[in-house]
């Protein structure tokens, strides 16, 4: 009596035979490879002081990127975070010259959140495009910061002004503590609360979210307020570290924050993403910057290498999600897929 064999079942049409990697695995592998390469190129990479500097130099970038993460997942853009951070830092320094430092910090933070509120209201109430709107408001906020500095810098030599940027808690730099706490709170808010679910829903399908009873406008406004507040906190910390506020101190912060989000694999189309991805994107860029400084590479080489690594990371993540994507890239224009007979 012959053994009964089970007929083989072919996958459904269009189903890739290759097993897909878990989402985000390619970015994780890229980060691990980058760390290993950094250690080989720079023996002192894992030194405690170096790792501390790596984090401290990117605290402001991390805070700004966290706020931008919420905005992008909700389907928007915020190109004003750099100007918002500068405005907050300038107000912090200007007011602290004559009033208590705490007052200056609160005013700077409130102004940053107010800037985010203005962005949110303009975009949701007037239905303006978030990309163009925040680009324009960023110019306005930068102009206001320049006005408060009287075309120069504001230097503060006052007790307590450097606390945010230079203080330590239990031997740990306070700015690192703030960064970690904000990322933990952001992760909980986005993944474990109704607001976080609403952010994903609004970014994925605003109309369906509205029909489901989600206050789409309110959710989007709050993401811009959060982005402004976190950018403002970044500006306060940066100003506190050096004791000097300048209107152009955070000129590259906006593009770097968006780069962090994109490298982390968060969809720029909205509706998809997580805070841990932004944290991973931050670590990738921070590691690159640290390695560049250690090797003393020129700025031109740094820019080219950083851009190449970003593109490689994005390509690896795409292939992890869709292993057959490379075949479509290589297919000649106008070629039609073969129809099975």
CATH classification of the domain holding 222: 1.10.3470
Q: Is residue 6 part of a domain?
A: no
How far, in Å, CA of 88 to CA of 111, rounded?
Answer: 6
Q: Is residue 8 part of a domain?
A: no
Residue 1 has pLDDT above 50, yes or no: no
Residue 29 has pLDDT above 90, yes or no: no
How far, in Å, CA of 277 to CA of 62, rounded?
Answer: 12
How far, in Å, CA of 286 to CA of 280, rounded?
Answer: 10
Helices H, strands E: what count in the chain? Answer: 15, 4
How far, in Å, CA of 145 to CA of 138, rounded?
Answer: 11
Q: Is residue 7 part of a domain?
A: no
Q: Is residue 3 part of a domain?
A: no
Task: Specify the pLDDT at position 252.
Answer: 87
How far, in Å, CA of 234 to CA of 80, rounded?
Answer: 13
Bigger pLDDT: 118 or 293? Answer: 118
Candidate from 39-53, 206-220, 236-250, 311-325 with smallest mean pLDDT: 311-325
Distance between the two ends of the chain, CA-based, in angstroms? 36
Q: Are 245 and 89 in contact (CB under 8 A)?
A: yes
Task: Specify the pLDDT at position 27.
Answer: 79
Q: Is residue 16 part of a domain?
A: no
Confidence label for 26 from pLDDT (cuts 50, 70 and 90): confident
Phi, psi of 180 (to 5 degrees): -65, -45
Task: Specify the pLDDT at position 7.
Answer: 45
Confidence label for 149 from pLDDT (cuts 50, 70 and 90): confident
Residue 56 has pLDDT above 90, yes or no: yes
Whole-angstrom Cα Rg for the chain: 23
Q: Are 174 and 233 in contact (CB under 8 A)?
A: no
Bigger pLDDT: 94 or 26? Answer: 94
154-155 and 244-245 beta bridge pairing: antiparallel
Q: Are 238 and 57 in contact (CB under 8 A)?
A: no
Task: Specify the pLDDT at position 3.
Answer: 44
Q: Is residue 333 part of a domain?
A: no
pTM above 0.75, yes or no: yes
The domain in which residue 101 lies consists of 25-35+43-321
Q: What is the domain count for the chain? A: 1
Tell which residue, 231, 253, 227, 196, has the closest CA to residue 76: 227
H or E segment to which residue 155 belongs: strand 154-155
């Amino acid at each position: 009596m012959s053994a009964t064999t089970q007929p083989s079942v072919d996958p459904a049409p269009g189903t890739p035979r290759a097993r897909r990697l878990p989402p985000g695995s390619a970015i994780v592998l890229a980060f691990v490879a980058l760390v290993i390469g950094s250690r080989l190129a720079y023996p002192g990479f894992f030194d405690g002081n170096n790792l501390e500097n790596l984090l401290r130099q990117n605290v402001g970038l991390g805070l700004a990127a966290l706020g931008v993460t919420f905005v992008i997942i909700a389907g928007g853009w915020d190109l004003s975070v750099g100007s918002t951070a500068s405005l907050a830092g300038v107000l912090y320094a200007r007011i602290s010259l004559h009033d208590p430092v705490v007052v200056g910090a609160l005013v700077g933070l409130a102004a940053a959140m107010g800037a985010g509120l203005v962005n949110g209201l303009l975009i949701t109430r007037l239905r303006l495009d978030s990309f163009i709107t925040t680009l324009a408001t960023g110019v306005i906020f930068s102009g206001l910061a320049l006005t408060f500095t009287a075309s120069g810098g504001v230097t503060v030599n006052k007790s307590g002004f450097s606390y945010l940027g230079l203080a330590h808690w239990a031997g740990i730099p306070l700015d690192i503590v703030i960064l970690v706490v904000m990322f933990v709170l952001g992760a909980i808010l986005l993944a474990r609360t109704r607001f976080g679910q609403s952010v994903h829903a609004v970014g994925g399908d605003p109309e369906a979210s509205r029909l489901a009873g989600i206050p789409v406008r309110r959710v989007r406004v709050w993401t811009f307020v959060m982005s402004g507040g976190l950018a403002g906190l970044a500006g306060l910390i940066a100003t506190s570290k050096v004791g000097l506020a300048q209107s152009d101190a955070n000129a590259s912060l906006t593009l770097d924050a968006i780069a962090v989000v994109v490298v982390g694999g968060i969809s720029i189309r909205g509706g998809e993403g997580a805070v841990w991805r932004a944290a991973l994107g931050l670590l990738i860029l921070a590691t690159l910057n640290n390695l560049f400084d250690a090797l003393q590479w020129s700025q031109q080489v740094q820019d080219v290498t950083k851009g190449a690594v970003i593109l490689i990371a994005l390509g690896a993540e795409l292939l992890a999600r869709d292993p057959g994507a490379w075949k479509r890239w290589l297919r000649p224009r106008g070629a039609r897929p073969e129809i099975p007979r």
